Each structure stands twice: as C-alpha cells, then as structure tokens.
Amino acid sequence: MKKLLLIDANSLLYRSFFALPPLTAPDGTPSGGLYGLASILIKIFREHRPDYAAAAFDRPEPTFRKQSFAEYKITRPAAPEPLIFQVKESPSLFSVFNIKSFALAGFEADDIIATFARRFREEEEIIILSGDYDTLQAVEDDRIIVWIPRKGISEFDIYDEDGVVKKYGIKPGQMSDYKGLVGDKSDNIPGVRGIGPKTASVLVRQFGSLEEFYEIAGDSNDPKYQKIIAGKESALLSKRLAKLDFNVPLEASLNDLLVGEIDSEKIKEFFNRKGFHSLINRLEK
C-alpha cells in the first residue's frame, strides 16, 4: 500500500525551534527550527518513504474558531521573530523534498490535515507528523497513525486508534467531546470548571458524546452531573472549538501530492546554504 505523509508544519517548527539551541545560517539568519524539521524529514523518508506528501500551515487571518470565541488562543504569547522567519522559509525546505505546501485563510493546519486524511483514507496508509494532539481526531482506523515528538525531536510517540484509547480511554472521534469537558489551556478553550480528565473520559465513554449526555442526563438531579449540566453552554462551545474541520474547501487530488523522484543535489544545496553540514552526511547515508 502506498503511503501519504501529512505534516503539521507550524507545530513541528515550533517544537524544533524550542527543542534545539539557536542556530544561525552562514548568512546570519536563524535556522534552528529548520534544522530540526529537516532532521525529521530525513528520518521519515529513510524509514517510511512516502509516495505522497503535503505540509499544512496556519494562516494569520482569524479562523472560524476565533470568530466564534474571541478569547480563543488569546493567552498564547506572540511567536518570536526568529521562529516567524523560519516558518516563512520552510516551504522552500519542503519544496526540495518535493512536498507540496497548503494553507487556507480561516482554517488551521490540523483542519487541512484532517481533511486530506479523510479524503484519501480509503486507498492509502497515512502518517501524520504533528506536535499537536488535536490531530489525533484524524485517526479513524489502523491505516492512519500520528507521530508526535516525545522529547526534543529525536523520539516520537506513535498513535493508532488503540493508542488513543489507551492514552485517553476514548476513541479518536470523541476527542472533541473530551476537550469540551476538560478544555485546553494551550488554546484557551474553557471546558467545564471542575471537570478533570478522569471524569471526562468516563462520561464520554459512558454516553458517547456531549449531545447524548445532555439528551439523556440533562434534567438529572444526580449531584455528580450538576457541574456538567450547569456548564452546558461552555461545554458545547468548547467542543466546537476543539473539533477539527474535515471539510476544508481545498481542491487537491492525490496526484497533486505526488512526491516522485527526489533530487538529492537540490537538498544538499539547501542544506549547504543553511549550514546543515551534519545533515548532508546523514542524507548520503
């Protein structure tokens, strides 16, 4: 079976940028995040040579989530300028690996990944590279797996459907219900006050979804449900914020993502320009 590689470019660059010491290219520009990303690409191409690939990016315009909830991601500090520079440079790195880049105003990178994963799931084995656990929602069967850096960028936790169940006690498609209850501090998603991961996992497993919970137990006098009943508005809003969009309107066929033959000389040229001499040795091996 052929392989499709989907890359959450922003989250991996963020991980790489903060995992590595600040590096500088011969021209004086920052390069540490790009070095880490290039290292990850060499690893994935060596171990799981993809036939198709796409890199997804966030856009600066407000997303549909921000329009629904003005405080969405408001607590995140602004990205440092050296990181912003490398995000803008990264499509050139993807290009020398014959990886197409995609972005669309109003949507986040993981929405694009989820859309492509579902669109092509019937015919491909799909590997998602991401630093964002939201992408676990895209795991629909054993043909779709998510690689998330564990520490730094050299080791990864790999999640299939069983891996998600083992970590959270719920299925991948229930992740947004889970976050509707526990929230997400990194994205400033409120969730329901006083509801932790254990309770959320048990309730989602028991009822299947937040909507089912409120339909079945919404009028209950059971004390253990009162916080969730009182927090209904916040829970359902939080679920909408956390849920990935699987229908991003990008017109791309599988053939548009074809990697084809890799020109190692182009990669070496890019690496030399950035001063990635150790990566050239790894590339030749």
CB burial of residue 15 (10 Å; 0-12, 13-18, 19+): buried
Q: What is the mean pLDDT of residues 35-50?
A: 93
Q: What is the mean pLDDT of residues 48-73?
A: 94
Classified as helix, coil or strand, 185 is helix
Order of all β-strands in the sheet with 125-129? 100-102, 52-56, 3-8, 125-129, 144-149, 156-159
Q: Report the pLDDT value the prediction gives residue 153, as an integer from 0 to 100.
A: 82
Q: Report the pLDDT value the prediction gives residue 272, as an integer from 0 to 100.
A: 95
* Euclidean distance between CA atoms 172 and 137, whole angstroms: 5
Supply the pTM of this predicted model.
0.94
Classified as helix, coil or strand, 128 is strand
User: pLDDT (tens digit, 9 = 90+) per residue, 82-122?
Assistant: 999 999 999 999 999 999 999 999 999 999 999 999 999 88
- Provide the token pair at 92: 């050139």
Residue 250 has pLDDT above 90, yes or no: yes
* Euclidean distance between CA atoms 51 and 245, whole angstroms: 25
Confidence of residue 33 (pLDDT cuts 50, 70, 90): very high
Beta bridge mates, 24: 30
Q: Report the pLDDT value the prediction gives residue 93, as an integer from 0 to 100.
A: 97
Q: Report the pLDDT value the prediction gives residue 158, as an integer from 0 to 100.
A: 94
- Provide the token pair at 184: 């997400």
Q: Report the pLDDT value the prediction gives residue 279, as an integer from 0 to 100.
A: 94
Q: Are 271 and 277 in contact (CB under 8 A)?
A: yes
Q: What is the mean pLDDT of the chain?
A: 94
* Euclidean distance between CA atoms 181 and 201, whole angstroms: 9
Q: What is the mean pLDDT of residues 37-51?
A: 93
Domains and CATH numbers, the chain: 3-168+245-284 (3.40.50.1010), 172-242 (1.10.150.20)
Measured between alpha carbons, how far is residue 196 from residues 167, 179, 181, 200 in Å?
A: 15, 10, 8, 6
Residue 141 has pLDDT above 90, yes or no: no
Q: Report the pLDDT value the prediction gives residue 263, as an integer from 0 to 100.
A: 92
Q: Are 112 and 67 in contact (CB under 8 A)?
A: no
- Pairing mode, strands 125-129 and 3-8: parallel
- Between residues 69 and 218, which one has the greater pLDDT? 69
Residue 31 has pLDDT above 80, yes or no: yes
- Provide the token pair at 134: 């939201």
Q: What is the mean pLDDT of residues 59-78?
A: 92
Q: What is the mean pLDDT of residues 118-139?
A: 92
